[in-house]
């Protein structure tokens, strides 16, 4: 049994598919559907997929206090157990990476494998400064401005330049409409995260997927994870911070092939 008691599962959750468990931790300012939407059906074809929306995302009410990574990680595990998954693989994207790492550290008896995409153990100076401005902009409530700020950081230069101006404007407007109300709290949590002490204790097969044209979570942070989690594998996708936009099929294949290889 885990040394950490689990709370009642109160975060809104998404459940799809059947088969071995796969629990998803989404990115900041987003939700399960907005982070994983293009690959959800593909993941659910082979797994029982469970994901929770953080406070201020999806149908989970916005927090009235700063978010705590232990609470978010425990809610992730509690949701899986509420859906009948005694053990499961974990995938964490961006902010969801350290959430998944903390969940694996606090509840190691539950976790069979770990996949981490476009993420970090802690923000470096470049990311911390970007996230600080992002959080301040989100607090103004001007979603259009937040979207305009994020796109040059989140997409690769190639993806941005390949879009005609009219298409780029449409994409920015579409993304603005989906920005989570809880983005200021999510950004604040990113700025405070540091799970480096958890890395050496990870004892399950781990894949770190590095988005090599990522300006928001630079690839050096991905390599730091792979170098400090025992036995971790590193795979690369030539994309910015949004593989679900630029290369969803390749991203999905890396995840499902790794889990299949390790029986997760």
Q: Which of 57, 117, 71 is nearest to 90 (CA)?
A: 117
Q: Which of 19, 10, 54, 18 is nearest to 33 (CA)?
A: 54
Quick check: is 105 in a domain? yes
Would you place residue 32 in the very low, low, confident or very high pLDDT band (cuts 50, 70, 90)? very high
pLDDT at 145 over 60: yes
> What pLDDT score was predicted for residue 4?
73
Average pLDDT over residues 180-208: 97
Quick check: is 6 in a domain? no
Quick check: is 2 in a domain? no
Quick check: is 109 in a domain? yes
Q: Which of 31, 175, 206, 202 is nearest to 113 (CA)?
A: 206
Q: Quote the CA–CA distance of 210 and 115 in Å, as a whole number.
A: 11
Residue ranges making up the domain that contains 111: 13-125+181-261
Q: Which of 5, 1, 56 is nearest to 31 (CA)?
A: 56
Quick check: is 150 in a domain? no
Average pLDDT over residues 241-263: 96
Quick check: is 245 in a domain? yes
pLDDT at 1 over 70: no
> What pLDDT score was predicted for residue 229?
98
Number of domains in the chain: 1
The percentage of residues in the chain with a pLDDT greater than 70, rounded to a whole number, is 99
Quick check: is 170 in a domain? no
CATH number (domain holding residue 61): 3.40.50.1820
Q: Quote the CA–CA distance of 127 and 97 in Å, as a whole number.
A: 15
């Amino acid at each position: 049994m885990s040394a950490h008691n689990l709370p009642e599962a109160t975060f809104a959750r998404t459940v799809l598919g059947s088969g071995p468990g796969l629990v998803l931790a989404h990115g900041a300012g987003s939700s399960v559907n907005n982070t994983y939407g293009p690959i959800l059906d593909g993941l659910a074809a082979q797994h029982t997929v469970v994901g929770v929306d953080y406070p201020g995302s999806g149908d989970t009410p916005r927090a009235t206090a700063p978010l705590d990574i232990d609470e978010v990680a425990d809610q992730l595990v509690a949701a899986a157990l509420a859906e009948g998954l005694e053990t499961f693989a974990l995938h964490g994207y961006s902010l969801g990476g350290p959430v998944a790492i903390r969940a694996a550290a606090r509840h190691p008896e539950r976790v069979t494998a770990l996949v981490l995409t476009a993420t970090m153990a802690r923000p470096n100076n470049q990311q911390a400064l970007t996230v600080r401005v992002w959080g301040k902009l989100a607090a103004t409530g001007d979603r259009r401005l937040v979207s305009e700020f994020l796109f040059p950081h989140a997409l690769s230069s190639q993806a941005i330049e390949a879009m005609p101006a009219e298409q780029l404007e449409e994409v920015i407007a579409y993304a603005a409409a989906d920005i989570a109300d809880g983005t200021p709290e999510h950004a604040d949590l990113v700025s405070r995260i540091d799970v480096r002490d958890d890395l050496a204790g990870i004892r399950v097969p781990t894949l770190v997927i590095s988005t090599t044209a990522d300006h928001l979570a630079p690839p050096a942070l991905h390599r730091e994870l792979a170098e400090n989690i025992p036995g971790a594998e590193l795979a690369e996708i030539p994309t910015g911070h949004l593989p679900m936009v630029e290369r969803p099929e390749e991203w999905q294949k890396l995840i499902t092939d790794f889990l299949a290889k390790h029986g997760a």
